[in-house]
Amino acid sequence: GAVVSQHPSRVICKSGTSVKIECRSLDFQATTMFWYRQFPKQSLMLMATSNEGSKATYEQGVEKDKFLINHASLTLSTLTVTSAHPEDSSFYICSAREMDRSNEKLFFGSGTQLSVL
Amino acid sequence: AQTVTQSQPEMSVQEAETVTLSCTYDTSENNYYLFWYKQPPSRQMILVIRQEAYKQQNATENRFSVNFQKAAKSFSLKISDSQLGDTAMYFCAFMTSGSRLTFGEGTQLTVNP
């Protein structure tokens, strides 16, 4: 099956710094990628939808200047957490949409645990 | 807006037995997809089973099957012959066009030896 690579898997940073997370579709072209956030023992919350070559669509309550999303190619989307603070500590997961002939499929990355000190 | 509700925060089952996880959803859409995802301790999201709303036949994947009741907006997951490796958080999810997934709160399933 299709593989989505996400890295880093874990990152620890100081408050005020920026962190970039990459999400790559390895063997298919992903016109759309999604970014989710998951707090411990909670569900996945959609943060934004990223379409190749256009601006991301953010969910209500998600600060677009805080969470910068770039989808410059059909195989790569990045999420940059700018000026990170301890409350941004969370598990971030990406997913990529593959369109095949019959239906669409979503594949998930392995996630990134962000810890802001 | 779509909502997905999983009313069982935790479930446990003995190895080799059968367990059913509940899920209800609310939508005004007629065409949509429903999913069950598994998230083990590794936190990797794994697709367990998928159901297209226009199909009346319940989806099955080996030991996993669903009971899809469209009128009742219910989508339960049955796991037969439970195995220790089935221990995980299970999320019910709903998707309409555009691939936006809405997840339920999750059910932590523990399979006991």
Condensed to tens digits (0 to 9), the pLDDT of residues B35-91 reads: 999 999 999 999 999 999 999 899 999 999 999 999 999 999 999 999 999 999 999
- Give the closest residue to B53 by CA, choosing from B106, B97, B91, B5: B97
Q: Using the predicted structure, report yes or no on whether residue A100 has a pLDDT greater than 70.
A: no
Stretch A91-113: mean pLDDT:
84
Distance from CA of A21 to the nearest CA of B (A): 16
CA atoms within 13 A on the CB side of A104: 19
Spatial contact of A2 and A105, defined as CB atoms under 8 Å apart: yes
Q: Which residues of chain B neighbour A40 with C-beta distances below 8 Å?
A: none
CB contact under 8 A, B42 and A110: yes
Q: Which residues of chain A neighbour B95 with C-beta distances below 8 Å?
A: 106
Distance from CA of A114 to the nearest CA of B (A): 14
Ramachandran angles phi, psi of B88, nearest 5°: 180, 175
pLDDT in tens, A37-76: 999 989 999 999 998 888 899 999 999 999 999 988 889 9
Q: How confident is the model at residue B104 (pLDDT cuts 50, 70, 90)?
A: very high
List, in order, residues 6 or more apart from B103 with CB less than 8 Å away. Answer: A43, A44, A45, B4, B37, B91, B92, B93
Stretch B2-24: mean pLDDT:
96
Which has the higher per-residue pLDDT, A57 or A31?
A57
Q: Using the predicted structure, report yes or no on whether residue A103 has a pLDDT greater than 90.
A: no
